[in-house]
Structure 1
Amino acid sequence: MAFPDLLHKERDQILVQSNSHVRTVILNRPQKLNVLSHEMVSQLLKNFKAFEEDNDVKLVILKGKGKAFCAGGDVTSVILSITYGHWIYGAKFYSNLLTLDYILATYKKPQVCLINGMIMGGGAGLSMNGKFRVVTENTIFAMPEASLGLFPDVGASYFLSRLSGFFGEYIGLTGTRLDGAEMLACGLATHFVLSMNLPSLEEELNKVDSSDLTIISTIIDSFSLTSILKEDSVYRRIDIINKCFSKGTVEEILSALEYEAINKKDDWIGSAVKSLKTSSPTSLKVFLKSIREGRTQGIDQCLIREYKMACHAVRRTVTDDLFEGCRAALLDKDKKPKWKPSKLELVCKEMVDQYFIAIDGDDWEELQLPIRSNSTKLATAKL
């Protein structure tokens, strides 16, 4: 496969519908679960900047076509591009993606994300940084990056660290899947609406001629339901999760879970232990440090740091785990990654710290985020 083939542009990956004072942006890559390509990110940046400057636009709706909202970023293309020697392509993709997340987090106009179906990784960055996050009974959320040799980024160290207790650590370290009810309960979602009512909700939102948050919230509230957590929902185990995932190191978290497993026959504990033992040891330790730092940082600081971390991963300054994880999960699909280092105890503090310092090279520079007038208030904001 020649590298240019990887950049073959699919047509109409982003659709825009205009209705009076409302613009609806549609992720249109349904056959690939709306995975974000470089082309999609660039188009989204262009559209959202234009809508923000257009005085006629009062509200922006974001949704995905098909069965998924967005299953993440197109990691396969990034990895293959680097394999073919095009490191700049991967860096530019991450730079644009995190800049887009920042613009959405500091957007001057209200956005409503209709999250019906799968949402992972990069899809979370598009939606979790927004004001209104509407989920349904079909929504499935996960941040499974550690199983790919990466770590939750796209602002995850900001929005996951602001969940109650240490539920964010649990989500990011284990890659567990949450349904819509659990997202609403933990604060990742703002509203729960049945999928069959989404067309009616959209119809009402398209009548909006104001950017008043109270007006928009009232409309969404009229379609919202109080969702009920399933009996076996992990969020019903929040006390044990906080007890285990508040520990200072991944090793201590794992030991605490294994201790709980002795006395409690609960499936979620076994699943959490398995995830921690099979994911990249380096990725787990890097993410834990990242989310702990994110608790006291603004969204801009988190994104700048996460860009640094991602660049270390794609440049392989510490480990090849990202490439090995993608090989095992996305390319060869043998599901048998060989992590190096292979065990948590072999990942030393110096290796982890390396991800958080600037890259020494003339071909690299820090992420330069645009100046935003309403960014200061986000430094200590809660979801």
Structure 2
Amino acid sequence: MSQVLVEANGVTRTLVLNRPKQLNALSSEMITCFLRCFTAYEEDDGVKLLIVKGKGRAFCAGGDVAAVVRSINNDSWKYGAHFFRNEFLLNYIIATYSKPQVSLLTGIVMGGGAGVSIHGRFRVVTDSTVFAMPETALGLFPDIGASYFLSRLPGFYGEYVGLTGVRLDAAEMLACGLATHFVSSDIREGRTQTVGECLRREYRMVCHVMRGDFSRDFFEGCRAILLDRDRNPKWMPPRLEEVHDEVVEKYFSKVDDPEWEDLDLPPRRSHGRRLVPKL
């Protein structure tokens, strides 16, 4: 399985970090792939925008330093030096890149994950983003060019982040300048998916609604508006504030029925038409 997935959509190329079980920790293979892609796309006039995101619940938890340490113990220090040489070269290319890069920072963003995102032009955080530079806890120092971007944070905030390894949320990243934009996770998900992916997700949701798994509000709404027409639905619960996130999340799960299958859509050349705003 490829550790980096490459998606092409018109003039956009999306690089997906694909080691979800390892929280997308950067391996030597991933760094090499990123170097190859960034170098090639900069020379390709048909590519205008790069998007970087992670698969699973993390953007990137850092470099795979555990693999580096194991290699050093079994071989020599030169593997570690080679790993960091390529990683720092990638950081430099991203920081000086001539084309815009958008990093979708969902979930954990630490160490090497900051290196492949913070140096880029646009850093989009969500309500699930957790950022940290935890190197001092490992007996290292904040690397990947952190002495450049941390030193430019307001006041002594950069020193605080680098020395303590404190975890920052989306609001704190925006306030200090580490992030450029905020998008709520639920909105962002549909925005980065193809029309097929959106329809598959919505099919799961509508099947749960049809079964009345977690609520029968749909049937109550149809009764009040279409059948009895009293226009007085009795929602359960009656107030939005009483709807818990845990219940909402269940609508995205697979239907618990051995005969049920996800929506099967045939492959198509197009991923769906884009909406072009006129405002």
Q: Same-fold call, TM > 0.5?
A: yes
Counterpart of 2:146 (choices 156, 162, 171) is 156
Specify the alignment match of 1:22 in structure 2: 12
Taking the aligned partners of 1:63 and 1:91, their CA distance within structure 2 comes to 26
Aligned to 1:137: 127
What is the root-mean-square deviation of aligned Cα atoms in Å?
1.2
TM-fit CA distance, 1:203:
6.2
> Equivalent of 2:162, from 165, 172, 181?
172
Question: What is the alpha-carbon distance in structure 2 between the residues aligned to residue 89 and residue 18 of structure 1?
Answer: 33
Aligned equivalents of 2:161 and 2:193: distance in 1?
34
Structure with the larger RCO, 1 or 2 (CA within 8 Å, 6+ apart) = 1
Partner residue, 1:56: 46
SS state at 1:130 partner:
coil
2:114 paired residue among 117, 120, 124: 124
- Are 1:32 and 2:22 counterparts? yes
User: Per the alignment, in what secondary structure is the counterpart of residue 26 of structure 1?
Assistant: strand
Partner of 1:269: none
Partner SS, residue 92 of structure 1: helix
Larger-Rg structure: 2
In structure 2, the partner of 1:103 is: 93
Count of residues in correspondence between the two structures: 194
Q: How high is the TM-score relative to the length of structure 2?
A: 0.68
In 1, Cα distance between the equivalents of 2:159 and 2:13? 35
| Letter paired with 2:35 | L
The amino acid across from 1:199 in the alignment is: E
What TM-score comes out, normalization by structure 1 length? Answer: 0.50
CA distance in 1, matches of 2:3, 2:163: 31
Map 1:69-84; keep pairs closer than 5 Å: 69-84=59-74
Partner residue, 1:89: 79
Q: Unaligned regions of 5+ residues in structure 1, if any?
A: 1-10, 205-383
Flag the structure with higher helix content: 1
Q: Distance in 2 between matches of 1:131 and 1:203?
A: 22
Q: 1:291-321 deviations in whole A, cap 9, x for unaligned?
A: xxxxxxxxxxxxxxxxxxxxxxxxxxxxxxx
Give, in angstroms, the shift of residue 62 of structure 1: 0.3
Shift in Å at residue 198 of structure 1?
1.3
* In structure 2, distance between residues paired with 1:108 and 1:202: 23
DSSP 3-state at the match of 1:128:
coil
Contiguous gaps of at least 5 residues in structure 2: 195-279
Distance 1:180 1:199 in 2: 17
C-alpha deviation, 1:131, in angstroms: 0.3
Identity of aligned residues (%): 61
- Give the match for residue 45 of structure 1: 35
